[in-house]
Structure 1
Amino acid sequence: MNNARPATVIILGGLRVGLPPLCRRAIPLHRPRVSPHTSASIPCRRQSTAPPATRPSGYTEIAQPPRRPTTQGRPKKNPPAGRLLKGPEDEGSAQEKINSITAHASTGRLYELLRIEASIGDFQKVEGYAECLMSKHKEAPNMRIYSALILANVNPLGSIASVTDYIRQLRADGFDLDNIACHDILKVLAVHPDYLLRSEILEYMQEKWLQLNEAGRHDLVAGYLRDNSFEMALDEVDHMKGEGITIRAWLYDMLIYALCKRGEFDEVLRVLEGRIADGDDNISTLLWNYLLDTSSAACHYELSTYVWKKRVQTSYISPPLGVHLNVLTAAARQGDTRLATDVFAKLSSRSIVFEPIHYELLVEAYVNAGDIDTALSVMCVMQESKLIPTARMTRSLLKYMGKDEDKLNEVFESLRSMAHYGKGVPTAALNVVIEGAIYQSNLEKAVEFYKTLHEICPSGANIDTFNELLRGCHYSKRKDLALLLASELLALGLKPDQLTYDRMLLVCTQEDDYEDALLYYREMRIMRVDPRNGTLLLLVKTMVKKGDGRVFAVVNDMEGRGGDIRANVNRIKIWIQRNWVGDKEVMERGLWGED
C-alpha cells in the first residue's frame, strides 16, 4: 500500500508553507503525553544500539520512568584553530573548566549556560552541564535539557540523526515537542538540511497551533537555501517582507550568495534592490566584489552596471583588471558607451597600458550604439598609439553593415571624411568595407573601394586587402581579375601568405584550364605551404573528372600530411576508383602501385 502523502500547502501563523510529498514513514512527532515523573531517583543512563522498531502511525507507547537524555556517541566540539586532532590534554582542560563552573553555579545559572553553549554548538559543555543538572542538582530530564541537546547539533559536526534520536528519547520519556524545541530543530535544519523532517515539524506546529517567530522564519529560509529550494526561499522572503518583517543581513547575504552560485542574476538584482530600498545598505565590500565578479563574468549587463555605479564609480571598491575587462565586454554587447568609457577612465587612472582587446571592445560598444564615426575614430586613435588595428577589431563593423548597402556606404563615407580632415585611417578600417562589399556579392564596388585606398589610408594596402579581393574573385569566378591582383601585390612588395595561395588555387581550379592551379600548387609545395582541406579536395575532384594522372601525386602528398585529410586518404582513393574516367590501368598503378 502506498503511504506517500501528496504535496500540501498549510497556513502556519499566517505563513504559507509548501510541503513536499513524503516518500517514507517519518518519525511520529506527536504522541499522548504520559506522566513526566514516576520516581524521584535519577535512572541510570542507557543507550540502545538496536534500530528502533517500525510501528504503525498513531501508536501509543506505554509510560516509562523518565531517563537521562543519552548523549553517548554524540560528536564532540571542534578542535581549536590550527589543530586537526584534539588530544587528551584538551579534553582534560575542557572538563576541568566545566567542573570549576559547575562547582558553585546555581541551578538557574546552569540552565542559562546550557542554553548559551547549545546555541554555539559546544557538545562537550552542553553534555557536562546537563550531566551536572541531573546528577548534582537532582533535576529530572525535561524539555529544557532536551532542547539544548537538540540545539547543540548546529555544530558542523552535528547531524539530523542525533536530532531524531533525541526526539525518540523525549517521546519515550513522555514529553511532547514544545515551541522552543521546534524552533531549535528548524535552526539545526538550517545547518543540516532534511526536507522531510522540516515538513513534519511544520505540520506538527500547525496541528499544535504553535506560532513560528521571526527567528524561526529566518531559519526556515536558510534551510530552504541549504536544500536548494530557491523558489520556496524567495517566496518566504517575499511573504516576510509583505508582513513587515525586517530581513536580517546574514539571511540576505546567504540568499544572494546562493542565487549567484546558481546564476540567477535577475533574482539577485531584485533582492539587492529590495534590500537597499528597505534601508539595509550595510553590505560588505567582499559581497560587492563577489557580485561584480560573478555578474560580469556571466556578462549580465544589468547587475554589473548596478554594482559598478553603486560602488566602483563612487570609488568604494577597486576591482581587479580582469573584472574591468568583463564589465567592458558587457557594456560593448549592450552598446553602453557611457559605461565603456567609464571603464576606460578607471583603467587609465591606474596607468594601465591598453591592449588591442580594450580598443576592440570600445569599438564594438560604439558600433552597437550606432555611433560609427566615433567607432572609427577609436581605431584611428589606436593606430596613433602604435597599436595596428587588425581584422579582428572590425567584426562588429562587418556585422553592422551586413547586407545593407546604405550602411556599407555610410561607413565608407565616414572613412573618406576622416581622411579629408587629416586623420590617419588604418588599413583594417577600409579592408572591412571591401569585405562588406564582397559579402554583399558586389565585387565591382569592392574594387572601387580598393582604388581609393591610397587616398584614404596612408599605410596603403596589405596582404589582407588582397586576400579579401581574391575571395570575391573566387565567388564571382573572375580568374582574370585574380591574376591581375596577384601581379599587383607582388609589384607592391607584399609577401603572399597561405591564404593568398589557397584562394588563387581556388580561382584557377574553377576553370576548365586548371594548369595555373597546378603551378600554384607546386609553388606551395616548394614553399612548404599546405592548401586547406576543402581546396585540396576540389583540386582532386577536378583532375579526376578530366582523367588527369597527375592527381595521384596530389593524393600521395595527402598521405604525408597530418590531420583529417590523411585519415580519409583511403576513402578518397575509393572515390577516385569509382569516378575515374581515364585509363583504368593508369588509375590502378597510381592508386595501389600495381604493374
Structure 2
Amino acid sequence: MLGMSIAINFPASPKNTTRAGTPMLSSSRSSLKRGHSYLLKKSFQCTSVVGLRCPRRHASTAIQSAESSSSTELRSAPFKFEPDTAFQQSRHGTSLARCNTAIHDAFKRRDIRSCFETAATMKKNGIAPDATTYNALLLATAYGTNSLDAFAVYEDMVSCGVEPNVATFNHLIFAVKDKTTTQVWFILDLMAQKGIHPNGETYQLIIQFFNAGKNVEISLQFLHEMKTAGFEPSLQTVQDIVVVVAEQGYSRLAVDLAKEFEENSIRRLGPEPWLSCLIASAEDVWDEGVLRCWDIVVKRFNINPDEGLCLAVLTTAARHGLSDLATEVLGALKTAGVQWREYHVAPLVEALCRANRLKEAILSLNIMRSNNILPLRSTALPISEIISKDVDALDSVWPILDELQEEKATIDVIALNAIIEAAVALGDLQRAVGTYKSFSDYNVVPDRDTFRTLLDGSIVARHLPLGTIMLEGMKELDIAPDATSFRQMIELCLTQEVYDDAFLHLEEMKAAGFKPTQETYEAIVVTCASRGDYRYDIAIKEMQEQGYPIAKDFEVEVSQIYNRSLVAANGHSESEEFEQDDREHRR
C-alpha cells in the first residue's frame, strides 16, 4: 500500500492442499479464519516497518481486541478504592452520644439495670445528660412497669434544667398504663403547664389506656379530640375502640364507628372488630347490623363462625323474617361439620313464617324429616301463630295444602297439628275437629300431639264427649295415654256438674304407674270444696301421702271456700252445724 508492494506468502498446509499441492477452493471455515488473521498480522508488521501511522477505526479496534483476546491481561484495570475512615469522624463521637447509645442498647436488651448504671457513670464522669438521655431512661422504666421510678426520672430531669418534650410525657403515660386514671390526668395537667401539646402518639396512648379499663366514653372523647387536632388514628387504635365498644354491648355504635372509618379511609379493619360487631349485633337481635357484619365476616374474611354465634344469628333471622340469612347460616353450620338439630332448623321455619312464605315453612318440616330431624310441637308454633290471627288466615292455609298435595309433596303431621292448635286458639272447636277428620285426605296419621291439642280444646269448651272420643281414638291407634293425657281427662271431668269420673281417671293414672302432679290434686281439692263435697279433705290427705307440701294459706283458703259453699247450699256453715250438735250433746 502507498506505492509499496507487499508480498505475502501463505504458508503451505497439508490440510488445505490437494495431492498436487494446489490450494483447496472449498476450505473449512476455521481455515479461512486462520488465513484472514495471518493476512492482517502481516499487514500490520509491514506498516510498523515503514513507520506510518494509521488512524484507528472500528475495524482496527476489533483487530486489536482479537489480538489481545488470547492475553490474560485486562484492557482496563478496575477502580481502586481507598477507604477514608476520617470522612464522617465515626471514631470520634462525644461522650454524651456514646452514653445515650449505651442506654439505648441496654434498653433493647431489656437490661434496665445497665441503663441506670450508665447514667450513674455519666454522673461520676461529669457528663451532663440531655433530653434524649432522660427519655431513654423513662422508656426503660415504662417497660419495667414502675411508674414511681418514671416520675423520679422526670423530677430529676426538671431539677437538672432539662426541658421535657412531648416524647417525655408519652413515656410517662405509657409508664402508668396499669395504674389509675388519676395519674393520667395528672400527666396531662403537667403537659398543659409546660405548654406542650399532645401529638398523635399521645392520643393513641391515652385511648389505649382507657380502652384497657373499658371506659368507652373517654376513649371516644379523645378519639374525637385527636381527629379535631388533625391527627389520624392508627388502624390498631380504631380496631381496639371498635372491639371495646362492641364488647360493652353498644352494637350500633360499634358498627357505625367501623363503617365510618372504612368509608373515609383506604385502610380496612381486620376480622376481629367485625367479628365483635357481629356478636354484639346478634346478641341485641339487630337485623341491620347482623346482615352487614355477616357478609363482611363470612364473605370478605372467609371466616366460618362457631355454632354459638350461628345460633345467635339464627335467632335474629327468625325474629325479623330473614329466611335467606337463616339458609346461609345453616350452610355455614354444615360446612363446619355441625350436624343439624331441631333447634337449628326451627329458626328457619319461623323466619319463613314472618316473611309470609307459609308454603316454604310447611315444606321445611319435610326437610327436617329427610335429615333425620324430628320436628317438635314448638317447631310449628310460628305456623300456628301466623294462621291464628283470624278465621280468614286460618282458612287461607287449606289452598296451600291442596297445592302441595297436587305437587305430590308430603304433608307433615306437625303442619296439621298447627292448624288444629290455631283453631283451638281461636275458640273454633268445630274447625279443629274438622281438621282432625281431614287427616286421612292428606294421608296423615294423627299422633300424640294431635290428641293433646284436641283435649286442650275440649277442656276450654267443657266438652266431655269430645274428650271421650279423643281418648278412644288414641286407643284405636295404639297410643297409650300418658301422664298428660290422664291429667287432661281429670281436668275435663272437673269442668262438669258431675265430676265423679275425675276420681276414676285418677285411679287409672296411678294404676298405670304415673304419679299425679300437685296441680292435679289442688284442682280436685278446690273443685270439691267449691261444691261442698267433703271429699276435698280426702284429696288433701292423699296429697300429703304423695309427699306434696300443703301450704297453710292454701289449707285455710280451701276451708273458707268449703264453708261458703255450705252456706250457699244449706244456709249455715259446717262450723255452725258442729256447734249445734255440741249443744244437743250437752243437753
Give TM class, smaller chain.
0.7 to 0.9
Equivalent in 126, 142, 146 of residue 154 of structure 1? 142
From the superposition, tell whether residues 258 and 386 of structure 1 become closer, same or farther in structure 2 (CA, over 3 Å): closer
Alignment of 1:322-341 (within 5 A): 322-341=308-327
Quote the Cα distance in structure 2 between the aligned partners of 1:585 and 1:444.
Answer: 48
The answer as to whether partners of 2:239 and 2:270 remain within 8 angstroms in 1 is no
The answer as to whether partners of 2:246 and 2:280 remain within 8 angstroms in 1 is yes
Quote the Cα distance in structure 2 between the aligned partners of 1:119 and 1:408.
Answer: 77
Alignment of 1:356-505 (within 5 A): 356-456=342-442, 458-505=443-490
From the superposition, tell whether residues 572 and 328 of structure 1 become closer, same or farther in structure 2 (CA, over 3 Å): closer
Q: 1:138: how far off?
A: 2.4
Aligned: 1:123 with 2:112:
yes
Q: Percent identity?
A: 21
Report the RMSD for the aligned CA atoms in angstroms.
3.3
From the superposition, tell whether residues 411 and 241 of structure 1 become closer, same or farther in structure 2 (CA, over 3 Å): farther
Quote the Cα distance in structure 1 between the aligned partners of 2:179 and 2:263.
Answer: 31
Residue in structure 2 matched with residue 516 of structure 1 by the alignment: 501
Quote the Cα distance in structure 1 between the aligned partners of 2:244 and 2:337.
Answer: 36
Q: Mean Cα displacement is larger for which, 323-332 or 570-579?
A: 570-579
The answer as to whether partners of 2:323 and 2:352 remain within 8 angstroms in 1 is yes
Q: Mean Cα displacement is larger for which, 484-493 or 346-355?
A: 346-355
Structure 1 or 2, whichever has the larger Rg, is 2
CA deviations on 1:192-222 (whole Å, 9 max, x unpaired) are 3432232233333334332211111211222
| 2:232 alignment partner, SS class | coil
The answer as to whether partners of 1:214 and 1:245 remain within 8 angstroms in 2 is yes
Letter in 1 for 2:221: D
Letter in 2 for 1:464: D
The answer as to whether partners of 1:412 and 1:433 remain within 8 angstroms in 2 is no
Structure 2 residues not aligned, in runs of 5+ = 1-92, 567-573, 579-587
Aligned: 1:179 with 2:161:
no
Quote the Cα distance in structure 2 between the aligned partners of 1:259 and 1:105.
Answer: 50
Quote the Cα distance in structure 2 between the aligned partners of 1:416 and 1:479.
Answer: 32
From the superposition, tell whether residues 249 and 584 of structure 1 become closer, same or farther in structure 2 (CA, over 3 Å): same
Letter in 2 for 1:240: M
Q: 1:544: how far off?
A: 2.3
Residue in structure 2 matched with residue 16 of structure 1 by the alignment: none
Residue in structure 1 matched with residue 84 of structure 2 by the alignment: none
Letter in 2 for 1:152: A
The answer as to whether partners of 2:304 and 2:332 remain within 8 angstroms in 1 is no
Quote the Cα distance in structure 2 between the aligned partners of 1:305 and 1:228.
Answer: 26
Q: 1:530: how far off?
A: 3.4
The answer as to whether partners of 2:327 and 2:348 remain within 8 angstroms in 1 is yes
The answer as to whether partners of 2:321 and 2:352 remain within 8 angstroms in 1 is yes
| 1:341 alignment partner, SS class | helix
Q: 1:556: how far off?
A: 2.8
From the superposition, tell whether residues 242 and 181 of structure 1 become closer, same or farther in structure 2 (CA, over 3 Å): closer
Letter in 2 for 1:185: L
Letter in 2 for 1:149: L
CA deviations on 1:424-446 (whole Å, 9 max, x unpaired) are 11111111111111112222221
Q: 1:328: how far off?
A: 2.6
Residue in structure 2 matched with residue 533 of structure 1 by the alignment: 518
Give TM-score scaled by structure 2 length: 0.73
Q: 1:175: how far off?
A: 5.7
Quote the Cα distance in structure 2 between the aligned partners of 1:346 and 1:311.
Answer: 12
From the superposition, tell whether residues 129 and 269 of structure 1 become closer, same or farther in structure 2 (CA, over 3 Å): farther
Aligned: 1:259 with 2:245:
yes
Residue in structure 2 matched with residue 567 of structure 1 by the alignment: 549
| 1:313 alignment partner, SS class | helix
Q: 1:370: how far off?
A: 1.9
Residue in structure 2 matched with residue 138 of structure 1 by the alignment: 126
From the superposition, tell whether residues 219 and 411 of structure 1 become closer, same or farther in structure 2 (CA, over 3 Å): same
Number of equivalenced pairs: 478
From the superposition, tell whether residues 279 and 401 of structure 1 become closer, same or farther in structure 2 (CA, over 3 Å): same
Residue in structure 1 matched with residue 57 of structure 2 by the alignment: none
From the superposition, tell whether residues 275 and 421 of structure 1 become closer, same or farther in structure 2 (CA, over 3 Å): same
Give TM-score scaled by structure 1 length: 0.72
Residue in structure 1 matched with residue 43 of structure 2 by the alignment: none
Alignment of 1:219-368 (within 5 A): 219-241=205-227, 244-279=230-265, 281=267, 283-285=269-271, 289=275, 292=278, 295-296=281-282, 299-314=285-300, 316-349=302-335, 352-368=338-354
| 1:452 alignment partner, SS class | helix
Point out which structure has higher relative CO (alpha carbons under 8 A, 6+ apart). Answer: 1
Q: 1:117: how far off?
A: 5.8
Quote the Cα distance in structure 2 between the aligned partners of 1:323 and 1:228.
Answer: 23
From the superposition, tell whether residues 503 and 120 of structure 1 become closer, same or farther in structure 2 (CA, over 3 Å): farther
Letter in 2 for 1:507: L
Q: 1:265: how far off?
A: 1.9
Letter in 2 for 1:129: T
Residue in structure 1 matched with residue 100 of structure 2 by the alignment: 111
Quote the Cα distance in structure 1 between the aligned partners of 2:398 and 2:577.
Answer: 55
CA deviations on 1:460-513 (whole Å, 9 max, x unpaired) are 111111111111111122122222222222223222222211111111112221
From the superposition, tell whether residues 417 and 244 of structure 1 become closer, same or farther in structure 2 (CA, over 3 Å): farther
Q: Mean Cα displacement is larger for which, 293-302 or 412-421?
A: 293-302
Letter in 2 for 1:378: S
